[in-house]
Amino acid sequence: MQARRRHLYFALMGTCVGLFVLAWAVVRIWSVQAAIAMCVVAMVIPPCAAIVANRRGPDDRWWDEK
């Protein structure tokens, strides 16, 4: 279960980095407003990725369980 969360985390963070790079390398040439909107969307992704990565699964063991 942890591997699935890790893959989803890296996919979300890769999307975030991709949006930033695409926004300021390509999209800003045609539309600065669109590039800013893409960066705002990319800014929301890291907290969501952290929540996904730290979510407890039904079969996960935690530090306080013996």
Q: What is the pLDDT of residues 47-64, one digit of tens each?
A: 999 998 888 777 766 666
Cα 31 to Cα 9: distance, rounded to the nearest angstrom: 29
Whole-number pLDDT of residue 53? 86
Q: Which two tokens stand for residue 39?
A: 């960066």
Q: Which of 56, 41, 42 is nearest to 13 (CA)?
A: 42
The Cα–Cα gap between 41 and 19 comes to 8
pLDDT value, residue 4? 83
The two three-digit tokens of residue 28, written as one number: 């800003």
The region that residue 62 occupies, defined by phi over 0 for left and psi between -120 and 50 for alpha, beta otherwise, is beta
Query: Using one digit for the tens of pLDDT, what is the confidence trace for 4-32?
Result: 888 999 999 999 999 999 999 999 999 99
